[in-house]
Chain A
Amino acid sequence: MTVKTLTINEQLISAHEEQTILEAAQDSGIHIPTLCHLEGVTDVGACRLCLVEVTGTQKLLPACVTKVAEDMEVCTNSKRLQQYRRMIIEMLFAEGNHICSVCVANGNCELQDLAIEMGMDHVRLDYQFPKRKVDASHDRFGIDHNRCVLCTRCVRVCDEIEGAHTWDMAGRGTNSHVITDLNQPWGTSQTCTSCGKCVNACPTGALFYQGSSVGEMKHDRAKLEFLVTAREKHQWLF
């Protein structure tokens, strides 16, 4: 395998011929923000956060699908790129219904992390407040479309890793959304293996485990009685 040398942010690095700019940067400890990228599944170049400037071309190139080349000069963090990235995150917040304080992923959310990274302290765009649905028909998982950023990581992980292809996309433009099977409730899906890979692939709180969301906490008062009975009467009655 041939090795290429290139410059990223004026730092000289080496990379394997087949590597993308993103992989080469990550190997060299250079951070490029991503959202739709998930290691292990095919890249689609859809979120546009990893766009970088490459000397010699007018176009901004997505680092996740652009291969390295000899003597390539890459800039990953120009002021212009930072402004574009901030706008992308603002767009996502304006597009969905993202209310961190009542979200299952609060504190463990890639969208939240990106907003902090981009310094997005407010949204200049019109909130779209879309009417979106929640599907809690599956006995172990749920999907809240309000929090979906349409990165399609669930679609790809289900298709390429699990091999089930339960998830896919429907609708177009601002009406596009993920569906299970042929737009049937998740709980009735014939193809879902309930493996949970999609839940783990989701960058936000759109896909979650049943029982983990705000307001789903249930008290098991009978447990106290069970323990007391067990201790005092040595009876283990369920």
Chain B
Amino acid sequence: MELTELLEIAQKERFLEKPVQIRCCVAAGCLSANSQAVKQHLEEAVTATGLDGQVQVSGVGCMRLCCQGPLVQVVDTQTEPKSLGTLYEKVTPDDASSIIAAINGEETTVQRGDLAHPFFTNQMPIVLENSGKVDPERIQSYIAAQGYQALYRVLREMTPNEVVNAITQSGLRGRGGAGYPTGLKWATVAKAKGERKFVICNADEGDPGAFMDRSVLESDPHRVLEGMAIAAYAVGAKQGYMYVRAEYPIAISRLQIAIRQAQHLGLLGSQIFESPFDFKIEIRIGAGAYVCGEETALMASIEGKRGTPHPRPPYPAESGLWGYPTLINNVETFANISPIIRKGADWFASIGTQKSKGTKVFALAGKIRNTGLIEVPMGTSLRQIVEEMGGGVPDGGSAKAVQTGGPSGGCIPESAFDTPVDYESLTNLGSMMGSGGMIVMDQNTNMVDVARFFMEFCMDESCGKCIPCRVGTVQLYRLLTKIRQGEASVADLELLEELCDMVKHTSLCGLGQSAPNPVFSTLRYFRDEYLKLIHVTTDGRR
């Protein structure tokens, strides 16, 4: 494969495009709301009306406003000035003929979405730039959207060192949650000595309420593969692993298709783009353990061992998979790579805040009007996200707190909603960026319940290797239950805090170390809710 061939594929794809595009979302959310049937009915309706020559129905990735799915977007590429098209919401298979009729200027009763709403206009798509536009199951569609051009540039025009420098300059930080500088990680693996090296993509997204990585993989799998290949070239790896949880069957199937297509075109495999660079990617499917998102446990799982973490150091960059230097990044991190190479590190570094560059994808869920996927520049305030984009709490309720970072994060109260969203600010508030789950809670939410829910999650997901996490989460869960039932004393509350401190500082891996965070943050901002539940004895003692 040469660049000219790549451009030919892109040109041919664009040439075959029909004037009117009907994009039907086939990501998990809409699929489970019957979008496959919607797509089929749309195709049939197009044929029935004889519009085959002008109208094209295609399955695309996530269109973001998941709560209104199945979503269908109709774009007429010939209108001037260019319009965003029309978004149809909650489309049923029976609506198909009506939507087709609307293309011919007839009236339709199908619910329309407002593409000028801040939910859409405040987004800045970098990771999601192709989401909702390209067909995730056709590599040509990705190539037509400048796909694999960054990989070509890297392999033919840049040295591995230059690639690492570009990523370092961009200021990109790990999107898995901890925010470790990506360039530094790549540089460490590139410098590490080893007969073999590996690149792993962590797609074991497991936080309750988080579906960012899932959407990226289901909507634009090639982008992640391209990012991995660029990383492999930069660090000197020839083998990559995509670790996806088994709960994401659609993502797995699209990744399998994508890898096969890329191999077929010589974009993965041996001598990619006629260069000496070889890179293969294999999929490894997780068996449903949350702890396998922790990098050392994930690698043990790939090796076929029990998925339990081991102490770091040694870090994976030095001794990872089978003892070889290993680069492990999250899905969203890899999805950022190709645009950074295409548009330049300076462009990326100009977005976001001083220490947190670029954008972040969040899965907006909970008590909020617009549930779905958003990608916003770092530094956007929580208030903008919740009130402007999310449309606030439905049914006249008011937002009480936002939970970020899943079981490792915390609850941020409404009073702190003006905080800009970046790694440091969220950590200072006692929460964390995390992988991007954002759950909005209204005034009816009991914060002890929230803490108890996340503790139950950690208790169920603790691997059992180290004592503080294995026993501590059970004890904390029991204490929270006791408090919730109004049977706890002040001494129990003190023990709760002592245990939290101990579990945080003595646990082996991130799961245990961060398991007390939801308790800490709810105690910090909503202590009165705990105190209200403390049992008072008949003589007034607590």
Contacts and interface: CB of A to CB of B under 8 A. Distances in A.
A173 B459 contact: yes
B471 A174 contact: yes
B472 A46 contact: no
Interface in B460-474: 460-468, 470-474
A174 B464 contact: yes
A172 interface: yes
A172 B460 CA distance: 8
Interface string A77-121: 000000110011001101100000000000000000000000000
B527 interface: no
A91 B468 contact: yes
A139 interface: no
Interface string B436-477: 000000000000000000000001111111111011111100
B276 interface: no
Contact of B464 (A51, A84, A94, A150): A150
Contact of B463 (A124, A126, A176): A176
Nearest to B479: A126
Interface string B470-500: 1111110011000000000000000100110
Chain B residues touching A, range: 20 to 34
Nearest to A85: B506
A169 B306 CA distance: 8
A125 interface: yes
A87 B499 CA distance: 8
B506 A176 contact: no
A128 B289 CA distance: 24
Contacts of B463: 172-173, 176
A44 B506 CA distance: 14
Contact of B466 (A47, A95, A124, A174): A47
A125 B474 CA distance: 10
Contacts of B468: 48, 87-88, 91
Given A44-B310, A88-B467, A92-B467, A173 B475 contact: no
Contact of B310 (A45, A87, A168): A45
Contacts of B505: 60, 84
Interface string A144-181: 00000110000000000000000011011111100000
Contacts, number: 91
Given A44-B310, A65-B311, A171 B464 contact: yes
A62 interface: yes
B67 interface: no
Contacts of A84: 502, 505-506
B507 interface: yes
Contact of A47 (B461, B467, B475): B467
A115 B231 CA distance: 50
B508 A46 contact: yes
Nearest to B308: A169
A150 B289 CA distance: 19
Interface of B: 289, 291, 306, 308, 310-311, 459-468, 470-475, 478-479, 495, 498-499, 502, 505-508
24 contacts: A45-B311, A45-B466, A46-B466, A47-B466, A48-B468, A48-B508, A62-B311, A87-B468, A88-B467, A88-B468, A88-B506, A92-B467, A92-B471, A149-B467, A150-B470, A168-B306, A169-B308, A171-B464, A172-B461, A172-B463, A173-B460, A173-B461, A174-B474, A175-B464
4 A-B pairs closest in CB distance: A176-B464, A91-B471, A173-B462, A45-B311
